[in-house]
Amino acid sequence: MTDTTPPLDGIAWAMQRGNGALADKMGFRWVELTIERAVATMPVEGNTQPVGLFHGGGYVVLGESLGSMSANLYAGPGRLAVGVDINATHTRSATSGLVTGVCTPIHLGRSMTVHEIVLSDDQGRRCSTVRITNMIKNLPAR
């Protein structure tokens, strides 16, 4: 049986694991990381469309980073969560400051997780809602 006990400090675990080159380039920053809730930010500056709006793909990068890392924290040692579906609905555009993502689980199963990520601007207005499904796989023994 695989040990699925999560690390005590989710952010330290994430920093050791790394955010990935894309999230790092886009300015992804952790605020909180537990199995029940994950929060991170990304700056609008440097992640805009030509007209100055936060890029829709930026919402998806922030959402997928939060959902995937949350699923991997839940999966625990010896297992890997990989994304199999993601969707996003953009309802507002951030134009300055930070976009904050709050990720919460909808389903935490043995082989699949589903997370909802609400992405808001500095005024707390919802800009996008992302849902990601991850499949959990056992890593091969070394």
Closest-CA residue to 84 (of 20, 137, 6): 137
Q: Are 71 and 79 in contact (CB under 8 A)?
A: no
List the catalytic residue out of 32, 36, 64, 116. Answer: 64
Amino acid at residue number 68: S
- Closest C-alpha to 75, from 126, 8, 139: 139
DSSP one-letter code for 110? S
Catalytic residue at 45? Answer: no
DSSP, residue by residue, 10-58: HHHHHHHH---HHHHHTT-EEEEE-SS-EEEEEESTTSB-TTSSBPHHH
Nearest to 117 by CA among 106, 133, 135, 101: 101
Catalytic residues: 64
